[in-house]
Structure 1
């Protein structure tokens, strides 16, 4: 056998009988079928065989199984990003003429997709106030209700149970962005929702180096519809990225609770600066929806927002952010390094915000060090004349 042929067709090292802490990473685009009968029996919705890299590998199937268990669901589908997971839900279950109900304070990237793509496809959108469910109005064409718990910038926490029950009574699907909960703070399906969408780039990954999303559900029919739509769009994730998320899951519970505790410490301390700012976090009684968070959750994540008094300009607040030593400037949350990012005054929220908003993502630094850094940053603000 010639050397090039021998290199390609030599016997492979057996993997049976080998076990390690982390599951194996199986990279694949082309998957080899043992015979034509196996090829003809292929089914994109099943996980008892392999078809092509975008269908899945042992590595991605392992991650899907773990995310399903984490969320308390039965079926999970990975997607290239959290936003692509959101878009996949919309494209699977909405068609021209259908209506989508979405909270007015929905994640900004979600809003942009709705405004541009869904509107252009003839899908009607009705906004509701998640803090006032009298505004949750259904019609004969309503097919899907989107829920965020909580809003990822202003942290209003909705009554998920009531929204899900209202939708179910009308035969309408509900989909929940559960990224903040991460499978730790609450169990989506125990609250009555049909679909849970999570950006695994955040807490699941925990390192800030991998982008991925996941969709979890209990109903097999919903899963199969999502899987076939993903197949037709050619969506898939790499095994190496999946392996990165799998490693992150090993420490998810410990990291989440540590960042939750640190955030609550900071929130409590910063609430004393009432003459300078307002603090937004579901654990605070003044936060809209606090009672629903208290009823439905066992944790509160590691992100919160600061709303500065109206007298401070964007230049003032930028000076505060730029002056922080430990907090880096960037999108995202759930990673090891703390982040701060100014959103200005244009944030859409259930309650009007009069001043500049800065979102804080708490990392794994010592909470006392983080507090000292925020305190010295606040001293950079101009004093009252």
Structure 2
């Protein structure tokens, strides 16, 4: 099947649900068994069949099957948020005394998890330059190193790690590779095909696509890691709500149509911003001036709508004038929905391996599905209000 067909059909079994095109939402906690023998048989393997609402319903299993098919995974586990998926993936392969190598450009809550909960339970997380060569990375491995966590590109500063090369290096040391693939999505980046063992998504974003559900997924390359991930999710009591899972499955059906619009709008907006006198730098992997553009061309089949710009030095008041008067960009911390967003961010305090250096403020932009002319006109007026036109 071609990608568009796969997105439309993956995980659907109408014949199992009275011909319903979409797998229905099963609101369930208790599941009844016809006999003691059936109950005993179900208890042998919690990874198959329907046992209890927290362990999954047909709604969950259909969505997980679709994601697994799209990622080429042995299996997928859905959970209640992207951060929950990150936590499950790391906890599934660590124990007290473990050492985890983490790219320095990861999502802020990932760093808080590493420096807080994981540290308190004896897991040492060490941050490395996401642009490290395999040789430089190899020097950091110890006998306790069990995981390498990357985010390519980073969702604030957009460096693209050499995932295949780093993954090969990690595998030579017997280390599991975990990647946050939310930016690339299963459509634009084949994480498992590039050496990743556990592909994590904040499905809240592009997979759901409408800013109305919290959802995460972890897809495993093999059965052993899949079982470890599911066992960890069950032990923690992390489960996605059936309505959110349904919205994730619904979002998949249009993902292939939405992403090209996000990509086109994002690139057009980034190209326009690069020509504005008040914009010092544009961080967009699909632009030829991005430092890892060749790597993006090699590994990715497209770009989403998320990128960043560095503005010329301005006061906080001028930045507020830019943002507060925007009509078509919301001020919000998420991305991946149909709406455009802006968010001022400061990576200075969330970097430890490589210092972030910039003269002006960093503005992260998510290009939504609005008309590009409206988005450009709105941003042009904002730059003018800030004295950057």
The TM-score normalised by the length of structure 1 is 0.91
CA 1:274–1:173: 2 relative to 1, 3 Å: farther
Q: Which moved more, 1:139-148 or 1:348-357?
A: 348-357
Tell whether the 8 Å contact from 1:313 to 1:356 is kept in structure 2 after alignment.
no
Matching residue within 153, 157, 162 for 2:156: 153
2:233 to 230, 234, 251: 230
Q: Is residue 336 of structure 1 aligned with residue 356 of structure 2?
A: no
Match of 1:359 in 2: 364
| CA deviation vs aligned residue, 1:139-178 (integer Å, no higher than 9, x gap) | 1211000010110011111100011000011110000001
- CA separation of 1:382 and 1:230: change in aligned 2, threshold 3 A: same
Alignment partners' CA distance in 1, 2:123 and 2:45: 27
Per-residue CA deviations over 1:189-241 (Å, capped at 9, x if unaligned) read: 11011110001100000110000100001210111111112112112122211
* 1:368 equivalent among 367, 370, 373: 373
1:264 corresponds in structure 2 to 267
Tell me how far 1:279 sits from its aligned partner: 1.0
Equivalent-residue separation in structure 1 for 2:317 and 2:169 (angstroms) = 45
Q: Which residue of 1 aligns with 2:286?
A: 283
Partner of 1:3 in structure 2?
Answer: none
* Equivalent pair of 2:344/2:361 in contact (CA under 8 Å): yes
Match of 1:67 in 2: 67
Higher alpha-carbon deviation: 329-338 or 272-281? 272-281
Q: Which has the larger radius of gyration?
A: 1
**Correspondence for 1:87:** 87
- Judge conservation of contact 2:46–2:55 (CA < 8 Å) in 1: no
Following TM superposition, by how much is the alpha carbon of 1:345 offset from its aligned partner in structure 2, in angstroms?
6.2
Q: Aligned residue pairs: how many?
A: 369
Alignment partners' CA distance in 2, 1:99 and 1:367: 46
Q: Distance in 1 between matches of 2:16 and 2:95?
A: 47
**Which of the numbers 217, 220, 245 marks the counterpart of 1:217?**
220
| Structure 2 residue runs without a partner (length 5+) | 1-14
Q: What is the SS of the residue equivalent to 1:251?
A: helix
- C-alpha distance 17-122 of structure 1, shift in aligned 2 (>3 A): closer
1:31-72 deviations in Å (ceiling 9; x for gaps): 111211121122586554111001111110000001111222
Taking the TM superposition and a 5 Å limit, the aligned residue runs for 1:285-304 are: 285-304=288-307
Q: 1:367 & 1:294 partners in 2: Cα distance? A: 24
Q: Which moved more, 1:49-58 or 1:346-355?
A: 346-355
Give me the whole-angstrom Cα distance separating, in 2, the residues matched to 1:275 and 1:237.
43
Q: Which has the larger helix fraction?
A: 2
For the residue of structure 1 that corresponds to 2:343, the secondary structure is strand
| Cα distance in structure 2, aligned partners of 1:129 and 1:21 | 47
**Which region of structure 1 is more displaced relative to structure 2, 345-354 or 160-169?**
345-354
Distance (Å, rounded) in 2 between the aligned partners of 1:274 and 1:33: 69
Q: Runs of 5+ in structure 1 lacking a partner?
A: 1-14
2:106 is matched with 106
Aligned-partner Cα distance in 2 for 1:355–1:45 = 56
| Partner-residue secondary structure (3-state), 1:68 | helix
Q: Secondary structure at the match of 1:216?
A: strand
Q: Secondary structure at the match of 1:263?
A: helix
Q: 1:57 maps to which residue?
A: 57
* Matched residue, 1:12: none
Q: Match of 1:141? A: 144
Residue 25 of structure 1: SS of its match in structure 2? Answer: coil
After TM superposition, the structure 1 stretch with the greater mean CA deviation from structure 2, 374-383 or 148-157, is 374-383
C-alpha distance after superposition, 1:117-146 (max 9, x if no partner): 111111112111111325422112110000
Which position in structure 1 is the counterpart of 2:26? Answer: 26
Partner-residue secondary structure (3-state), 1:54: helix
Look up the match of 1:308.
311
Aligned-partner SS, 2:114: helix
The answer (yes or no) to whether the contact 1:345–1:354 under 8 Å persists in 2 is: no
Distance across 2 between alignment mates of 1:98 and 1:48: 31
Matches of 1:17 and 1:96, distance apart in 2: 44
- Contact kept, 8 Å, 1:68 with 1:75, in 2: the verdict is yes
What SS is found at the alignment partner of 2:219? strand
State the superposition RMSD in angstroms: 1.8
TM-score, length basis structure 2: 0.91
